Amino acid sequence: MWNPEEHSNDENMLWSWLRAVEWTGWPLFISQPIVPVLLYFYDWWVVLGAVAAAAFVWRALVVPFWVSPGLAYIGPLFVKLKFISAPAMAYLLWQRGEMPIAAAALFWPFLGPMAAQWVMILPSALLSLTPLGRASQIGIVQTRFLVAIGFQPTDSEHTSDE
């Protein structure tokens, strides 16, 4: 788990910002190693629809109310599984003769979350007009992560130019 006392203010701010970005799009972020596996078992349109729906529900109902530094800490470690799952599932799909789906499985970790984010532009824009949408903005989520890890800025790092 991230310990803010072992890091500088800048490192804590960077860590919390990265985790906030990942947290607001957690289903898309976590989908990197998962979607290639799901594409082997389910139709592509079902998988993509489920990921998009989960991303919207997550942003609307979870992000405004809850952050988990523990999950956010292990998330990047879990996502590294994409380097195993994507090529392995692409190979298995290729063996079945499903070339376009094999390509989708291989490239999902790199292009899929961005494409899904593009699809989510309009729903996310409409959500941002609501109080729940404003509570799920990156800066607000970053502040909630800082509070959750017990971050207290150190006085030794506050300097003035006088």
Mean pLDDT over all residues of the chain? Answer: 89
Q: Is the pLDDT of residue 94 over 80?
A: yes
> Is residue 20 within a helix (H) or strand (E), and if so which, with residue range?
helix 9-24
Q: Where are the domains of the chain?
A: 6-150
Count of CB atoms within 10 A of residue 64's CB? 19
Query: Would you say the pTM of this structure is higher than 0.75?
Result: yes
For 110-127, what is each residue's pLDDT tens digit? 998 888 888 888 888 888
- Token readout for 75 is 């998330």
List, in order, residues 6 or more apart from 71 with CB less than 8 Å away.
none
